[in-house]
Amino acid sequence: MIFEKPAPIRDGFGNALLELGEKDPRVVVLTADLSEAIRVHWFAEKFPHRFFQMGIAESDMVGTAAGLAVAGKIPFVTTFAAFATSLANTPVRVSVAYNQANVKIATSHGGVCVGGDGATHQSIEDIALMRVLPGMTIVVPCDANEAYRATLAAAEYEGPLYLRLGRIATPILTKAHTPFKIGKAQVLAQGNDLAIIACGAMVGFALEAAQLLDKKGLRVRVINMHTVKPLDHSAVLKAAQECGALVTMEEHSIIGGLGSAVTELVAEKYPVPVERVGIRDVFGESGEPHEILEKYGLTTKDLVKACKRALKRKEPK
Amino acid sequence: MVQTAESVKLDIDHIKEMATQIRRDVIRMIAGVGSGHPGGALGAAEIFALLYGGVLRVDPRKLKDPHRDRFVLSNGHICAAFYSALSLKGFLPREELNTFRRINSRLQGHPARVKLPDLVETSSGPLGQGFSVANGIALALKLDGSRGRVYSLVGDGEIQEGQVWEALMTAAQHRLGNLTLIVSYNGLQIDGEVRKIKNLMPLKAKFESFGWECVETDGHDVVALYQALTEPAGGNPMSTDKPRAILAHTVMGKGVPFMENKAVWHGTCPTPAQAEEALLAIGKAKGFEDYPALSNPDLSTRKGGKR
């Protein structure tokens, strides 16, 4: 499965599930009345006996998935990010994470790009909520191709895993043959003046910012940190050592997400200036995705500004 | 039909004595460590004695048998009785009960799957969680064509949790005829009487209106309870598509007169003198022994679990 044109990240997920359905009879899918929104309706049509419609009952869905996992299945539970991680937080904590149950929590609508639905449906804290749970792996693909490969990798991985899928169509940044390994970041652009570490739909902005800065003679490294936990320590520390300053960008609160993870690591191991681009401790609102991104400071322009601040703080070599 | 020991083919005396030993263990474990939840555990002694003494098709030598029955304890705080039953049937060393609630023990204050992956189907403690997991196991067993049946135990106070009602709908919707939910129905919760705090009645009618088969029974009458656990209400074979609930009327603190029907004993540890008095009231169990002092030092320091 290869996407050539911009496609919703969740389309990669839905297609990967179809392949997994054929390949592995242990794979089962659960949804809470959102089968089409997260593209599991294709799996449902093809594998009706391994698809469980759980109704509007996210907590029970997550608990049920834990039971399926305990009994040897590989369940994917699917709903919006806000509902899986916040509404169903206790079953995720106790029945999935504490049990080390082999449940894949796959969510759409992570971030603010849900458009008109507004703050209740914009999950700006899901990565933070999952990151504090011991043993939880967090994967945030940047395009439909990566979502496809990440979904296959998630099924192979043994243990609780949170797969965050954005809502909007994103440019295709990775190819079918781009290697994908959970926990291993990809360097999409080389450079030693500064490093941008981004995840999800923000990776495209990072590449744009790097191109803009390149015109000013600055070589910026772009790291696609598709796995927020476990964080690729060596990629971050290498960037800190070789570039001397870091900028993070995520469609998430700057508290508790990728920016926090990177900052915590470099503060302990190799302190360098870090600028974090993300939602600044506020709830979102209704609007077109591009309007929201603009208002809340998640554009290429905002990222370039942050890069300039980071460069200014960087100690001369 | 008159229910007699003969008609249910069960060693009634053995089950009764086992329940007595569970009660002794519960008191000794909790008093020994100085904390725990005696009330519900004492009240569920017959339930555990029956499950592990005759109902569950489980074998400590065949822990991976795909056709084994599964037990999911949803009201995890009463786990002293669960651990006791496991130890009495060869799933745990008897002396390991000494480690209950202590550092490095596999016998956590609330059951932990990571510590006992072959015996604890799911960690439980926050109420309302285990029941959903039991549904998931039952779904998986149906997919796999397993002959195993899933039994889950909840407390009546626990039913106030919203997730329980979600799970009730799930079990009916997905026709989990291979699931039995046992309610330890003692009418009490930490802050007092269930009916005064958030009333559940009429509980049987609620289960039935949710598409369940439901029977009420005395949770201390081992013959009646065995009948309820092994035969559906209408006398139908167990192949029914309906999940089955057993409202087992129990007495919190049963067997220890000063604890009976007193909500304070939900989570209060008896003093050494009270523990002595409790053990006297419970009496000795014929054919069983109290668990011995810890002689295997490995048990007190073991990390437990595979991962």
pLDDT for B236 equals: 53
Residues 6+ apart with CB under 8 A from A305: none
Instruction: Using alpha carbons only, give the angle B59, B64, B67 rounded to the nearest 5 degrees.
Output: 75
pLDDT, greater one: A220 or A5: A220
3-class secondary structure, A117: helix
pLDDT in tens, A145-184: 999 999 999 999 999 999 999 887 889 999 878 889 999 9
Last residue within a domain, chosen from A105, A136, A170: A170
Question: Rounded CA gap, A146 and A125, in Å?
Answer: 22
C-alpha separations of A254 from A247, A261, A262, A296, A300 in Å = 12, 10, 11, 12, 17
CATH number for the domain that contains residue A253: 3.40.50.920
Position of tokens 């945030």? A140
A224 and A158 in a common domain: no
SS3 A245: coil
Give yes or no: residues A253 and A300 share one domain: yes
A/B interface, count of CB pairs below 8 Å: 110
For every residue of A9-49, DSSP letters joined together read: HHHHHHHHHHHHHHH-TTEEEEESS-TTTTT-HHHHHH-GG
Segment A122-148 shows an average pLDDT of 97
Q: Which of A50, A55, A100 sits opposite B307 (nearest CB)?
A: A100
Rounded to 5 degrees, φ, ψ at A7 are -145, 150
Q: Say yes or no for a CB contact (<8 Å) between B137 and A65.
A: no
Distance CA A93, CA A98 (A): 6
CB contact under 8 A, B163 and A59: yes
The distance of B104 to chain A (nearest Cα, Å) reads 16
Q: Is residue A251 part of a domain?
A: yes
Q: Are residues A104 and A193 in the same domain?
A: no
Instruction: Dump pLDDT digits (tens) for A61-115.
Output: 999 999 999 999 999 999 999 999 999 999 999 999 999 999 999 999 999 988 7
Task: Tell whether the model's pLDDT for residue B114 goes beyond 70.
Answer: yes
Q: What tokens were used for A285?
A: 């609102």
Cα nearest neighbour of B112 on chain A: A99
Per-residue pLDDT of A24-51, as tens digits, reads 999 999 999 999 888 999 999 999 999 9
Would an 8 Å CB–CB cutoff place A66 in contact with chain B? yes
Size (chain B), residues:
307
Distance CA A25, CA A31 (A): 18
Each residue of B170-211: pLDDT tens digit?
Answer: 999 999 999 999 999 999 999 999 999 999 999 999 999 999
- At B302 the pLDDT is 53
Interface test with B, best of A33, A61, A94 (most B CBs within 10 A): A94
Residue closest to A210 by CA, chosen among A225, A200, A195, A224: A195
Alpha-carbon distances of B174 from B169, B211, B245, rounded to whole Å:
8, 11, 15
User: Mean pLDDT score of chain B, rounded to an integer?
Assistant: 93
Percent of chain A exceeding pLDDT 70 equals: 100
Mark whether A300 and A151 lie in a shared domain: no
**Together in a domain, A81 and A151:** yes
Domain's final residue, options A115, A139, A170: A170
What pLDDT score does B306 carry?
39
pLDDT at A57 over 60: yes
CA B150 – CA B4 distance, rounded (Å): 26
Q: What is the 3-state secondary structure (H, E, C) of B63-119?
A: CCCCCCCEEEECCHHHHHHHHHHHHHCCCCCHHHHHHCCCCCCCCCCCCCCCCCCCC
Question: How many structural domains does chain A have?
Answer: 2
Per the structure block, which two tokens stand in for A180? 């994908």
If asked whether residues A226 and A276 sit together in one domain, one would say: yes
Give the single-character DSSP code of B56. Answer: S
Per-residue pLDDT band for B305 (boundaries 50, 70, 90) equals very low
CA distance A120 to chain B (A): 21
Q: In chain A, which residue's Cα lies nearest the Cα of B174?
A: A52
Q: Using CB atoms within 10 Å of the CB of residue B205, give its burial: 0 to 12 exposed, 13 to 18 middle, 19+ buried.
A: exposed
The answer to whether residues A166 and A196 belong to one domain is no
**Are residues A202 and A79 both part of a single domain?**
no
- For residue A111, being part of any structural domain is answered with yes
In this structure, is the dihedral angle defined by the CA atoms of residues A96, B86, B76 and B12, taken in order, positive or negative? positive
Assess whether A39 and A106 both reside in one domain: yes
Contacts of B184 (CB under 8 A, 6+ apart): B40, B43, B44, B47, B75, B78, B153, B154, B155, B156, B219, B248, B250
The Cα–Cα gap between B7 and B222 comes to 13
Q: Rounded mean pLDDT of chain A?
A: 96
Asked if A95 and A208 sit in the same domain, the reply is no
CB A285 within 8 A of CB A293: no
Report DSSP state, residue A2.
Answer: -
Put simply, the answer to whether B132 touches A55 (Cβ < 8 Å) is: no
Q: Is the pLDDT of residue B5 over 90?
A: no
Confidence of residue A186 (pLDDT cuts 50, 70, 90): very high
Can you give the pLDDT at residue B304? 45
The whole-angstrom separation of Cα A76 and Cα A34 is: 13
Do B184 and B134 meet the contact criterion of CB atoms below 8 Å apart? no
The structural domains of chain B, ordered by start, are: 16-301 (3.40.50.970)
> What is the per-residue pLDDT for A177?
80
| Cβ atoms A187, A235 nearer than 8 A | yes
**Per-residue model confidence (pLDDT) at position B2:** 46
Peptide bond into A230 cis (omega under 30): yes
Spatial separation of the C-alpha atoms in residues B31 and B272, rounded to whole Å: 7
How many angstroms separate the CA atoms of A228 and A258, rounded?
6
Before A91, cis peptide (omega within 30)? no
> What is the share, in percent, of chain B residues with pLDDT greater than 70?
92
From CA A288, how far away is CA A282, in angstroms rounded?
A: 18
Specify the DSSP class assigned to residue B270.
Answer: P
Mark yes or no for CB contact A57/B166 under 8 Å.
yes
Q: Do the domain assignments include residue A107?
A: yes
Whether A180 is in a domain gets the answer no
DSSP helix/strand/coil, B263: helix
Contact A98 B113 (CB under 8 A): yes
Closest partner residue to A70 (CB to CB) among B125, B137, B174 is: B137
Whether A143 and A260 map to the same domain: the answer is: no
Question: Are A165 and A13 contacting, i.e. CB atoms less than 8 angstroms apart?
Answer: yes
- Whether A17 is in a domain gets the answer yes
pLDDT at residue B297, as a whole number: 76
SS3 B4: coil
Query: Could you tell me if residue A232 is inside a domain?
Result: yes
The residue length of chain A stands at 317
**Which residues in chain B have Cβ-Cβ distances shorter than 8 Å to A99?**
113-114, 122-123
CATH code, A114: 3.40.50.970
Would you say residue A143 lies in a domain? yes
Q: Is this complex scored with an ipTM above 0.90?
A: yes
Residues of B in CB contact (< 8 Å) with A are 70, 72, 112-114, 121-126, 129-141, 143-144, 162-163, 166-167, 169-170, 173-174, 307
Q: Which of A264, A246, A263, A233 is nearest to A206 (CA)?
A: A246
Cα–Cα nearest to B269, from B101, B69, B17: B101
List the domain range (segments joined by +) for residue A217: 186-311
CB A77 within 8 A of CB A30: yes
Residue B106 scores a pLDDT above 60? yes
Please name every residue paired with B150 in a beta bridge, in sequence order, or none if there are none.
B70, B179
Chain B residues touching A67 at Cβ < 8 A = 72, 121-122, 132-140
Asked if B182 and B152 touch (Cβ cutoff 8 Å), the reply is yes
Residues of chain B with pLDDT > 90, as a percent, come to 89
Rounded CA-CA distance A57/A45 in Å is 22
The rounded percent of chain A whose pLDDT value lies above 90 is 89
Does A153 lie in the same domain as A80?
A: yes
Using one digit for the tens of pLDDT, what is the confidence trace for B204-245?
Answer: 999 999 999 999 999 999 999 999 999 764 455 555 799 999
Q: Is residue A181 part of a domain?
A: no
Report the pLDDT averaged over residues A281-298: 96
**Kind and range of the H or E element at A208?**
helix A202-214
Chain B nearest C-alpha distance from A258 (Å): 27
Q: How far is A157 from chain B (nearest CA, A)?
A: 15
Question: Using the beta-carbon criterion (under 8 Å), do A60 and B126 form an inter-chain contact?
Answer: no
Integer Cα distance of B156 and B183 in angstroms: 6
Q: Which of residues 101-140 of A touch B (CB under 8 A)?
A: 101
User: Can you give the pLDDT at residue B256?
Assistant: 98
Mean pLDDT of B71-81: 98
What pLDDT does A272 receive?
A: 98
> Would you call A51 an interface residue with chain B, using a CB distance cutoff of 8 Å?
no
Beta bridge partners of A186: A224
Among the candidates A116, A138, A170, a domain finishes at A170
